[in-house]
Amino acid sequence: MARAALAVLAVTALASGCSGDGVQGAYGQQLQAPPARALDGYADRLHSSYNQRVAAATRWGLAKAPLVAPPPAKKSAITFRKGFEVQGGAGLPPVFTTVPTTDKVVFLTIDDGADKDPAFLRMMSDLKIPYTAFLSEDLIDDDYDYFRRMRDLGVTLNNQTLHHPYLPGLSYEEQRNEICGMQDLMQKQFGTRPTVFRPPHGNYNKDTLRAAKSCGIKYAPIWNEEVYVDHWEYREWDRSLHPGDIVLSHFRGASDWNGTMPDLARRFLKKVTDDGYAVARLEDYL
């Protein structure tokens, strides 16, 4: 009986309605109803995957298993957030705080690289939670291997300048040295030149974006919410999460905050899960 119920759930997960002789999938493709035995096996895999997520959540002190993000239904054009444009900024990397989507997902981004907690890597890998790192050279140069392990776990490593300065206070050439210099270091240490850049503290001007573009940058996301170990901060008046919101945090531990990186992850995951959101990979939507 339980297996039959799971099989029904499997069909529901695969499709949103019927059309003609087949089934129309959630993203418009035509699906043929699988044989009963295949459907039974799919239901078993769903059940096993759910049990694994529940067990991982329990191991890391979460009351609920984090929700699984769907693949993006479509990729929308990314543009400047209203009010964050720069004069004459057409063709420059857009600054945005939310990705245009109706999917009930948010994106976790973590800045700087100061704290290097191996338990955090284990936790996020065990829970299969995607996140994006924005790194500064002077905060990671004591342990590049930590971030190589992070990269090898599937995390995208992005650029946040060499020295984390207040960029609008620098000349165009100085800004370009900070951004392109970090591109060179990322290539040398991690094997890739990022296309995504975050200006430190979210501060930028037209020269920042011109310099970033010249260094191969396509996007300059900032954030709509910020999560700490002990509280959240919000950009919007409604103090709520919204589909596609980018959430900021930092690689900081007990020496800076009243808790560890796993404590931070628990606060973040509790909020987003309680609010019915899944955590998606930012790069999948760009």
* pLDDT tens-digit profile, the chain (286 residues): 444 444 444 444 443 333 334 434 333 444 455 566 666 666 677 677 889 999 999 999 999 999 999 889 888 899 999 999 999 999 999 999 999 999 999 999 999 999 999 999 999 999 999 999 999 999 999 999 999 999 999 999 999 999 999 999 999 999 999 999 999 999 999 999 999 999 999 999 999 999 999 999 999 999 999 999 999 999 999 999 999 999 999 999 999 999 999 999 999 999 999 999 999 999 999 9
Phi, psi of 56 (to 5 degrees): -65, -40
Neighbours of 19 (CB within 10 A): 12
Per-state percent for the chain, helix, strand, coil, to nearest 5: 40, 15, 45
Closest CA to 162 of 183, 147, 143: 183
Residue with tokens 């500064």: 136
Phi, psi of 104 (to 5 degrees): -85, 75
Q: For the whole model, what pTM was predicted? A: 0.85
Q: Which residues contact 61 (CB under 8 A, 6 or more apart)?
A: 262, 266
Q: Where are the domains of the chain?
A: 2-59, 95-285
| Amino acid in position 245 | D
Q: Which residues contact 16 (CB under 8 A, 6 or more apart)?
A: 24, 25, 26
Task: Report the alpha-carbon distance of residue 192 to residue 183 in Å, rounded.
Answer: 8
- For the domain made up of 95-285, give the CATH fold: TIM Barrel (3.20.20)
- Beta-ladder partners of 135: 112, 159
151 conformational bin, left if phi > 0, alpha if psi -120 to 50, beta if neither: alpha
